[in-house]
Amino acid sequence: MNAPASPPDLSHLWMPFTANRQFKSQPRLLARAEGMYYTSTDGRQILDGTAGLWCVNAGHCRPEIVQAIASQAGEMDYAPGFQLGHPLAFEAATAVASFMPAGIDRVFFTNSGSESVDTALKIALAYHRARGDAQRTRLVGRERGYHGVGFGGISVGGISANRKTFSGALLPAVDHLPHTHSLEHNAFSKGQPAWGEHLADELERIVALHDASTIAAVIVEPMAGSTGVLVPPKGYLQRLREITARHGILLIFDEVITAYGRLGSPTAAEHFGVTPDIITMAKGVSNAAVPAGAVAVKREVHDAIVNGVQGGIEFFHGYTYSAHPLAAAAILATLGIYRRDDLFGRARDLSPAFEKAAHALQGAPHVIDVRNIGLVAGIELASRPDAPGARAAEAFRKCFDSGLMVRYTGDILAVSPPLIIDEAQIGELFEGIGKVLKEIA
């Protein structure tokens, strides 16, 4: 029998979005994954209630994806994407386009959601410049929005902790819409809340203040995930689309979380029946097996930029690893699984059971709200008087210790499992959270 591996030296790694000192005093380490489960380094099985980090939609270590990556690594490990290409990149773009709403069929590859957002913002600015509207430089985001960690994404994002350290270096000419979350009006809503459509009209105020001729784009998450599952009110996204279209402003949907089945459709745009001009994506596009992201753009936006110069490079932007061969292989294999196994239909079919299980936590200790849509739920807890976020952090740790992986942000627990989850596992997940909530003060 092999001797157990010695624990790794934790001192050298500076961990992202982590309380490093706290983690390293009591580490939670994962060793393997398969299907719906992780295995910790101490041999415990952990039910994955978060699809890794909102990203492993098809379940862990799918053999088709593993084989596609391994085969591609043996055939060609890397190919430059500047002034050269490889067939798989074009095949992957065609596959991505086939999942997008009609007309959004030009695809620019990135490596992450953060890169996708910054790319989309640059595309918006380049589009207006190509059309002779170079004065359209203002960008509009939303409070409590999360758009990654690039300077562009932080600038249009609305999470104060992400912004304050870098406040002196954020993009100028950025405004923010109010967020749509209201416990007073919408607590324990099932699906889209009834109250809040009027909040989209704040965009009219911003337009009146600055004039539409100065505004390039509005960027929102159709459903804000990382700030605690904020579901759009009925009519809200439709109203944003109406206002932006009337004023010639591009509408960007940040679908890094919602694309590829989280709401039971290929995109949140399709689910809500609202077609933006640009869609950002990452996470589920490759099942997170290889870092990958993309921006899907309306054909007329793409054509305005590409046909707007006489010759040479039309858009001075890109990444060394755009459409990396291994990422392209993972994307093709992943999208093939989604289509073959009808995982988005599975998510739709499971949504009622998921909703019922989530809302069974109403009345559990500390729970002040439960909200859900598709296969995602947010469970908001009352904050401790002098320690906001501490209660959810404790619940997260106790869930992990009991064999459940959830996420937390502030005092909100977020649940977003792989789309392969079954009803028994849904029950196990929410019942386990309920038990943990009874154990904490």
**pLDDT tens sequence for the chain (441 residues):** 454 567 899 999 999 999 999 999 999 999 999 999 999 999 999 999 999 999 999 999 999 999 999 999 999 999 999 999 999 999 999 999 999 999 999 999 999 999 999 999 999 999 999 999 999 999 999 999 999 999 999 999 999 999 999 999 999 999 999 999 999 999 999 999 999 999 999 999 999 999 999 999 999 999 999 999 999 999 999 999 999 999 999 999 999 999 999 999 999 999 999 999 999 999 999 999 999 999 999 999 999 999 998 889 999 999 999 999 999 999 999 999 999 999 999 999 999 999 999 999 999 999 999 999 999 999 999 999 999 999 999 999 999 999 999 999 999 999 999 999 999 999 999 999 999 999 999
CATH of the domain at 53: 3.90.1150.10
pLDDT value at position 280? 99
pLDDT value at position 5? 66
Residue 164 zone, left/alpha/beta (φ > 0; ψ -120 to 50; rest)? alpha
Give yes or no: residues 194 and 317 share one domain. yes
Residue 8 forms part of a structural domain = no
Please choose, from the candidates 435, 417, 306, the residue with its C-alpha nearest in 3D space to the C-alpha of residue 372: 417
Residue 263 forms part of a structural domain = yes
**Residue 89: partners with Cβ closer than 8 Å, 6 or more residues away:** 79, 81, 109, 323, 325, 328
Please choose, from the candidates 346, 363, 321, the residue with its C-alpha nearest in 3D space to the C-alpha of residue 425: 346
Residue 7 forms part of a structural domain = no
Picking from 277, 306, 341, the residue at the C-terminal end of a domain is 341
| Separation in Å, CA 34 to CA 30, 52, 67, 248, 253 | 12, 12, 15, 47, 31
Picking from 292, 318, 341, the residue at the C-terminal end of a domain is 341
Give yes or no: residues 196 and 308 share one domain. yes
pLDDT value at position 195? 98
Give yes or no: residues 160 and 242 share one domain. yes
Q: How many domains does the chain have?
A: 2
pLDDT value at position 4? 54
Give yes or no: residues 80 and 137 share one domain. yes
Residue 325 forms part of a structural domain = yes
**Residue 243: partners with Cβ closer than 8 Å, 6 or more residues away:** 200, 201, 203, 204, 207, 249
pLDDT value at position 390? 97
Give yes or no: residues 187 and 317 share one domain. yes
Residue 10 forms part of a structural domain = no
Residue 207 forms part of a structural domain = yes
Give yes or no: residues 47 and 74 share one domain. no
How far apart (Å, rounded) are the C-alpha atoms in residues 151 and 161?
14
Give yes or no: residues 332 and 195 share one domain. yes
Give yes or no: residues 143 and 285 share one domain. yes
Picking from 341, 358, 393, the residue at the C-terminal end of a domain is 341
Give yes or no: residues 89 and 199 share one domain. yes
Give yes or no: residues 407 and 419 share one domain. yes
Residue pair 330/287 in contact (Cβ under 8 Å)? The answer is yes
Residue pair 96/109 in contact (Cβ under 8 Å)? The answer is no
R_g (Cα) of the chain, nearest Å: 22
- Token pair for 240: 């944003």
CATH of the domain at 296: 3.40.640.10
pLDDT value at position 309? 87
Residue 13 forms part of a structural domain = no
Residue 290 forms part of a structural domain = yes
Parent domain of 397: 20-62+342-439
**Vertex 49: Cα angle to 345 and 342 (nearest 5):** 15
Give yes or no: residues 311 and 398 share one domain. no
How far apart (Å, rounded) are the C-alpha atoms in residues 259 and 281?
6
Give yes or no: residues 273 and 365 share one domain. no
β-pairing verdict for 174-177 and 104-110: unpaired
Please choose, from the candidates 375, 357, 370, the residue with its C-alpha nearest in 3D space to the C-alpha of residue 420: 375
| Separation in Å, CA 199 to CA 29, 143, 178, 253 | 42, 12, 7, 17
